[in-house]
A and B are shown apart, each in its own frame.
Chain A
Amino acid sequence: MSTTVSANPSDARTGLTLALPALMLFTGVVVIPLAMTVLLSFHDWGQYKGIEPVFILKNWIEIVSDPYYAEMFWRTFRVAVLATLITAVFGVPEAYILNRMQGPWKGLFLLIIIGPLLISVVARTLGWALLFGGNNGLVNKLLMTSGLIASPLRFMFTETGMVIALAHAMMPFMVLAVWTALQRLDPQVENAALSLGAGSFTVIRRIVLPQIMPGVLSGAIIVFSLSASAFATPAIIGGRRLKVAATLAYDEFLNTLNWPLGAAVAVLLLIALVLIVVGSNALIERRYQEMFR
Chain B
Amino acid sequence: MSRNGPAALVFHTLFVVFMVAPIVVVCWVAFTPEGFLSIPTTNFSLRWFKALANYPEFVHAFAVSLWLGALSSCVALLFAVPAALALSRYQFRGRDALSALFLSPLMIPHVVLGIAFLRFFTSAGIGGTFLALVIAHVVVVFPFALRLTLAAATGMDRSVEMAAISLGADGWTMFRRVTLPAILPGIVSGWMLAFIQSFDDLTMTIFLATPGTETLPVRMFLYIQDNIDPLVTSVSASVIAITMTVLILLDRCYGLDRVLTAKGGDAGR
How many whole Å from B200's CB to the nearest CB in chain A? 5
How many whole Å from A247's CB to the nearest CB in chain B? 9
Q: Which residues of A contact B (CB under 8 A)?
A: 2, 4-7, 11-12, 14-19, 21-23, 25-26, 29-34, 36-37, 40, 90, 93-94, 97-98, 100-102, 105, 107, 109-131, 133, 138, 165, 168, 171-173, 176-177, 179-180, 218, 221-222, 225-226, 228-232, 235-236, 245-246, 249-250, 253-254, 259, 262-263, 266-267, 269-270, 273-274, 277
Annotate B82-102 by CB proximity to A: 1 below 8 A, 0 otherwise: 110111011111010010011
Given the complex of chains A and B, what is the CA–CA distance between A25 and B143 in angstroms? Answer: 13
- B21 and A127: CB pair below 8 A? yes
- With an 8 Å Cβ cutoff, the count of chain B residues facing the other chain is 101
Chain A contacts for B206, CB-based, 8 A: 231, 250, 254
Chain A contacts for B78, CB-based, 8 A: 21
How many whole Å from A96's CB to the nearest CB in chain B? 8
B176 within 8 A of A: no
How many whole Å from B86's CB to the nearest CB in chain A? 4
Out of B91, B142, B202, B256, which one reaches A7, CB within 8 Å?
B91
Out of B92, B207, B224, B268, which one reaches A122, CB within 8 Å?
B224
- B111 and A249: CB pair below 8 A? yes
- B224 and A36: CB pair below 8 A? no
Q: How many A-B residue pairs have CB under 8 A?
A: 302
- B123 and A36: CB pair below 8 A? yes
User: Could you say which of B40-48, B49-57, B113-121, B183-191 contacts chain A?
Assistant: B113-121
- A168 and B110: CB pair below 8 A? no
Given the complex of chains A and B, what is the CA–CA distance between A283 and B9 in angstroms? Answer: 35
Beyond A11-B91, A12-B92, A34-B116, 4 additional contacts (C-beta under 8 Å) are: A15-B86, A36-B120, A127-B22, A246-B111
Given the complex of chains A and B, what is the CA–CA distance between A241 and B33 in angstroms? Answer: 33
Contact (A124, B23) CB under 8 Å given A119-B243, A129-B224: yes
Contact (A94, B23) CB under 8 Å given A22-B102, A115-B244, A273-B109: no
- B228 and A126: CB pair below 8 A? yes
Given the complex of chains A and B, what is the CA–CA distance between A113 and B251 in angstroms? Answer: 13
How many whole Å from B173's CB to the nearest CB in chain A? 15
Chain A contacts for B265, CB-based, 8 A: 218
How many whole Å from A20's CB to the nearest CB in chain B? 8
Chain A contacts for B16, CB-based, 8 A: 109, 112-113
Chain B contacts for A90, CB-based, 8 A: 15, 18
B203 within 8 A of A: yes
Chain A contacts for B128, CB-based, 8 A: none
Most buried by A among B20, B39, B116, B246: B116
Contact (A116, B111) CB under 8 Å given A15-B92, A21-B79, A236-B221: no
Chain B contacts for A177, CB-based, 8 A: 266
Given the complex of chains A and B, what is the CA–CA distance between A278 and B25 in angstroms? Answer: 38
Most buried by A among B1, B87, B109: B109
Given the complex of chains A and B, what is the CA–CA distance between A253 and B104 in angstroms? Answer: 23
- B220 and A122: CB pair below 8 A? yes
Task: Jot down 14 A-B pairs with beta carbons below 8 A, ordered by A.
Answer: A15-B95, A18-B82, A21-B79, A21-B82, A22-B79, A25-B142, A93-B11, A113-B19, A116-B23, A117-B260, A118-B196, A122-B224, A126-B228, A266-B111
- A4 and B158: CB pair below 8 A? yes
Chain B contacts for A225, CB-based, 8 A: 107, 109
- A114 and B260: CB pair below 8 A? yes
Chain B contacts for A123, CB-based, 8 A: 23, 26, 220, 236-237, 239-240
Most buried by A among B24, B80, B217: B217
Given the complex of chains A and B, what is the CA–CA distance between A131 and B28 in angstroms? Answer: 12
Out of A23, A26, A31, A253, which one reaches B207, CB within 8 Å?
A253
- B268 and A130: CB pair below 8 A? no
